[in-house]
Amino acid sequence: MPLEGKQLIGQQAVLSDGKAIHAVDPATGETLSPGYPAGGQAEVEQACALARAAFDAYRETGLEARAAFLETVAEEIEAIGDELIVRAMAESGLPRARLEGERGRTCGQLRLFASVVRAGEWLDVRLDPALPERQPMPRVDLRQRHIALGPVAVFGASNFPLAFSVAGGDTASALAAGCPVVVKAHAAHPGTSELVGRAVQRAVAKCALPEGVFSLLYGSGRELGQALVRDPRIKAVGFTGSRSGGTALMQAAQSRPEPIPVYAEMSSINPVFLLPEALNNRGRDLGEAFIGSLTMGAGQFCTNPGLVIAVKGEALDAFVASAAEAVKASAAQTMLTPGIHDAYVQGVDGLVASSKAREVARGNAGEGPNACQTGLFVAAAEDFMGDEALQAEVFGATSLVVECADLDEVKRVAESLEGQLTATLQMDDADLDAARALLPTLERRAGRVMANGWPTGVEVCHAMVHGGPYPATSDSRTTSVGSAAIHRFLRPVCYQNLPQGLLPEALRDGNPAGVSRLVDGQREA
């Protein structure tokens, strides 16, 4: 079935009449067919009405039925076959191997959430049985579980056309929690979105779920996106993108008559701290590995290492020299969109023009229209701390090395940073005390602290935190990657003295759902 360019509203496919959105192949500049006529208020209205109508039934699907649905979505995505990879390559400029891997991650995280749904830990069941004889007052029977918040608006991200788009992490975790999802497709990859959206539609039908569990809309952020966030039936928002885009959604959500949570993953420069012994012992190797992480995917990962901090001296010079060699040898890779490429060039030009940053090396310029030329710059710690422009994220394969006078200044730089997704320590055994002194700062500043690795490469698992203090995200209390992401879309409800016939299964006597429960504060065996 060829791509149709239609809104997917419940089980329908509807042609809108707005201005058409076209994907552009960033490697060639070619405009891709079909056009996707933009929807607006009317499409939002229809999708949200269906989502609301589906909500009470969908949130009470049994654990097994909901898990099977998530697995069916994964199967339907795999069943699309190579057409999905070919279209995603054309719409993103990303290479085949990366997109095949991303498809694996996308389906893997749907299946991870299926296992999480089945295990039932997310229900956070708590029972405080009645104590009729307690003095001076008896205690009533109290039982708690978590239920879904309501329909969720998900905004597809440009940099993960599969894993953080239509059926990506936000959608998977919201569906796992029991929330219907209305996705706004990212304008950069509408065809990829349509293919995945139809796969989800098929899974909804196969599992005989109410059609409003999923809709996929195309339109402008200012019109369709804002209308979606303002719709009273939407109860939470998932977003991955720019700081300006995320804060606009936060404001829209807060100015509703009923404010709702926004989970926006926005900007991070992911500082890497090179501690003295590690730098002495393996500075040249670190320099090379650093550029490997920096240039991965043309530097378009949220966890790209955009900042390196160390004490200045010969060891740091050797690191920089080694990194510079790797930069010069680095190939130019196609960036995701002309807009992202323009912003990257502007950011790098700002560093070039800055009197406080020194250019160390540039990579190959490339020949395509949207090629990312790697960049490496150096600045003094004092200059860095005094200049907000140097602290801003340059989305792409450019990084800044900050030279400090000593470890105290390293710590001051760490304290001066905004909230981050990650903070990395390169450390050897003899660096343990220095690492220990930095750790409290890094915990306060970042969602993930790592040693002797590189921040790119985010494992989808139970312990992952892809989050962090503002402006890394809008809500540091959560993660957008990994199984704990399900908690973003849940709220607790307490049931007092309800008859067994009225209680949800997970709360009934005898634990018929077989879930982990806290009884009087103790975990039930």
Q: Are strands 181-184 and 152-155 parallel, antiparallel or unpaired?
A: parallel
Q: Name, in order, each residue with C-beta under 8 angstroms of 148's C-beta and a sequence gap of 6 or more.
A: 55, 58, 59, 177, 178, 179, 489, 490
CB of 278 to a second copy, least distance (A): 12
CB of 381 to a second copy, least distance (A): 22
Write out the two tokens for 382: 């004092």
**Nearer Cβ to a second copy (205/493):** 493
Active site (annotated) includes residue 302: yes
CB of 159 to a second copy, least distance (A): 19
Catalytic residue, from 76, 194, 265, 418: name it: 265
Q: Which residue has the tokens 């039934």?
A: 57
Write out the two tokens for 9: 């509203």
Active site (annotated) includes residue 265: yes
- The DSSP code sequence of 212-257 is GGEEEE---IIIIIHHHHH-TT--EEEEES-HHHHHHHHHHHHTSS
Cis peptide before 276 (omega within 30 of 0): no
Q: Which residue has the tokens 């497709």?
A: 185
Q: In angstroms, rounded to a whole number, what is the distance separating the alpha carbons of residues 179 and 66?
A: 11
CB of 279 to a second copy, least distance (A): 17
Q: In angstroms, rounded to a whole number, what is the distance separating the alpha carbons of residues 23 and 221?
A: 16
Q: In angstroms, rounded to a whole number, what is the distance separating the alpha carbons of residues 290 and 313?
A: 18
The SS3 of residue 415 is: helix
**Nearer Cβ to a second copy (259/313):** 259
CB of 26 to a second copy, least distance (A): 27
Q: What would you report as the CA-atom Rg of the chain, rounded to the nearest whole angstrom?
A: 25
**Nearer Cβ to a second copy (55/377):** 55
CB of 301 to a second copy, least distance (A): 15
**Nearer Cβ to a second copy (353/525):** 525
Catalytic residue, from 48, 107, 302, 372: name it: 302
Instruction: Return the DSSP state at 468.
Output: -
CB of 350 to a second copy, least distance (A): 22
- Angstrom CA distances, 380 to 238, 295, 351, stand at 37, 23, 13
Q: Where are the alpha helices (DSSP H) in 386-475?
A: 388-391, 407-416, 432-445
**Nearer Cβ to a second copy (80/518):** 518
Write out the two tokens for 380: 């003094």
Residue 199 near residue 340 (C-beta atoms within 8 A): no
**Nearer Cβ to a second copy (37/180):** 180
Q: Are strands 152-155 and 236-240 parallel, antiparallel or unpaired?
A: parallel
**Nearer Cβ to a second copy (367/429):** 429
Tell me the catalytic residues: 265, 302
